[in-house]
Amino acid sequence: MRVINPATEEEIVTVDPGDPDTAVFQARQAFESWRKVAPGDRARLLRRFASVVDAHIDQLAQIEITNTGKPVGNARWEATNVRDLLDYYSGAPERLCGRQIPVVGGWDVTFHEPLGVVAVIVPWNFPMPIAAWGFAPALAAGNTVVIKPAELTPLTALRIGELALEAGLPEGVLNVVTGPGSRVGRRLVTHPDVRKVCFTGSVEVGREIMALCAGDLTRVTLELGGKSATVLFADADLEKAAAALPGAVFDNAGQDCCARSRLLVERGVHDEFLSLLKPYVTGFTEMGPLISHQHRAHVASFVDDPLFQGSVPGDKGYWYPPTVLKAERGDRHWNEEIFGPVLSVMPFDTEEQAVEFANDTPYGLSGSVWTRDVGRALRVSREIQTGVLSVNSHSSVRYWTPFGGVKQSGLGRELGPDAPLSFTDTKNIFISEE
Ligand code: NDP
C-alpha cells in the first residue's frame, strides 16, 4: 500500500497489508489474561499508556501532518485527544460497578463482563481520535482490540500500537492490522471471535457491515455521515456567528462528519449575514488539503457558480478552497454529503420552516442553533433530529460527553461516561440463601 502525502502528492512510504486472522488470534489469546488483570492494575497501565502518548505528541502529530496534510494545530490536538481519552477511561476499570437487586430467598447481583475481541475500523479523516474513541473505553472495560486503519492513513495507528507495548500493555491487547477494507475490514467483521465492531465511515459500508454483523449477532456501533445544519435566527449575534461558522464547516477541509455544511438563515438577515461571513471565508487558511486526488474530484463535482470562495496555497497537493454556494431544496449539494470545504446557504421564513428544512435529510448527526431567545433555542434544539447539537456555538465532540447520530448517521453512542458499558454485557447472578 503506497502512502501519499496529500499536500505534496509525494509517496511517503509503502506499508504491507497485515493478516486479520493473526491479529484476532493474538487478541483472543490476550483476552484471557487481560480480562483478569486487577482493575487497579489495568487502570495504571492505561495511565502509563497515556503518559507515553503524551511524551510522543510531537512525533504523532508530525506523522499525521505528513500523512494527511493537516495543520499543526489540528494534528497536535488529535494526538492530545488520544492521551486524554486514555487518561479519562483509565478512571473506568475500578468504577465498572454492578448492582445488587432485592430478591426473595437470596441475593441478586450484576456484573459488567467484557465482550472479548473488539474490532475498531477507522476512516482517514481523524485517524488518531476515532481509533482511540473505540480502543480506550474498550480496553478499560477489559476487552482486547484490533484496529484497522484506513489504507490511506495507517501510520499513526501503527505508531500507537508500538507505544502501547512501550507503556507495558501485554502483547496482543492492542493490535493494529493494515490493509484494504474490502478484504481485511470485511474479515474482521465476519470473524467469529470478534464480538463487537466499531465502525466509522460511509453509510454504504456501514449498512454492509451491519448486515454482515447479523450473521453472528456481533454487536456494532456505526458512526456514519452527516449533513448538519446551522439554523441562524435574525436575533442572533450575527458577528459572532459569522466568525465561528467557517471553523465549523471548513475545519479538516470539511472532511468531518459533523461539518455544518448547510446554513439556514432567517430571510430578514440573509444578505447582511453573507456580507459578514464573506471575509471570514475568503480569509480562512487553517486548513489542509483533501485526502486524495479522487476525493478532490468528488468535491469539485458539486461546485458550480460559487457565491464566494477562498484560495489554495499552490499547484501541488489536493487542495480545495473554502466555498459558499446558494442552495435550493432540490440541489444535489444541499442534499448529499460532500465531505469537503463547501457550505450551502438557504433562507427560511418561520421557525417551523427552519425545523422542517433542517430535518429534511436522511442524516441526523449534529447541528447548531443561533438565537438570543432561550425558549426558541430549547424548542428548536429538541425538534431538530440529531444526536448532538449546540446553541450559539459550533462545538460537537468532547471526549467526556456522548456522541453519535440518529437516522442514517449511525447507531449507538461513543464517548462520555457510559462508553465503557457499551463494551460489556451485563451478567445477572442469583445466589440462593439456602
Ligand atoms: P469507507 O466507509 O469506505 O471507509 C471507512 C473505513 O472502512 C476504512 O478503514 C475502510 O478501509 C473500511 N472499509 C471499507 N469497506 C469495508 C468493508 N466492506 N468492510 C469493512 N471495512 C471496510 O469511507 P471512504 O474512505 O470510502 O469515504 C467515502 C465517504 O464516506 C466520504 O466521502 C464521506 O462522505 C464518508 N465518510 C464518513 C466518515 C465519518 O467520519 N463519518 C469518515 C470517512 C468517510 P480502507 O479505506 O482501507 O479501504
Tell me how far the alpha carbon of residue 37 lies from the centroid of ligand 1, in angstroms. Answer: 34
Instruction: Check residue 262 and give its pLDDT.
Output: 98
Write out the catalytic residue numbers: 223, 257
Give residue 58's pLDDT.
98
CB 82 within 8 A of CB 129: yes
Query: Which atom of ligand 1 is found nearest the CA of 179?
Result: 47
Which residues of the chain register pLDDT less than 50?
none
State the amino acid at position 69 in one-letter form: G
* Ligand 1 within 6 A of CB of 339: yes
Instruction: Tell me how far apart the alpha carbons of residues 290 and 253 are, in angstroms, rounded to a whole number.
Output: 6
The pLDDT, as a whole number, for residue 17 is 96
Ligand 1 binding pocket includes 129 (Cβ within 6 Å): no
| Nearest ligand 1 atom, CA 212 | 19
Decide: 351 in ligand 1 pocket, CB within 6 A. Answer: no
Please identify which residue in the block is written with the cell numbers 447539537. Answer: 389
Q: Note the pLDDT of residue 396.
A: 72
- Reported pTM: 0.97
pLDDT value at position 314? 82
Predicted local distance difference test score (pLDDT) of residue 394: 87
Q: 369 Cβ partners below 8 Å, 6+ apart?
A: 230, 231, 233, 376, 377, 380, 381, 384, 389, 390, 391, 392
What is the β-pairing status of strands 10-14 and 2-5?
A: antiparallel
Q: Whose CA is nearest to atom 41 of ligand 1?
A: 224
Ligand 1 within 6 A of CB of 223:
yes
Ligand 1 mean position, distance from CA 151 (Å): 10
257 lines ligand 1 (CB under 6 A): yes
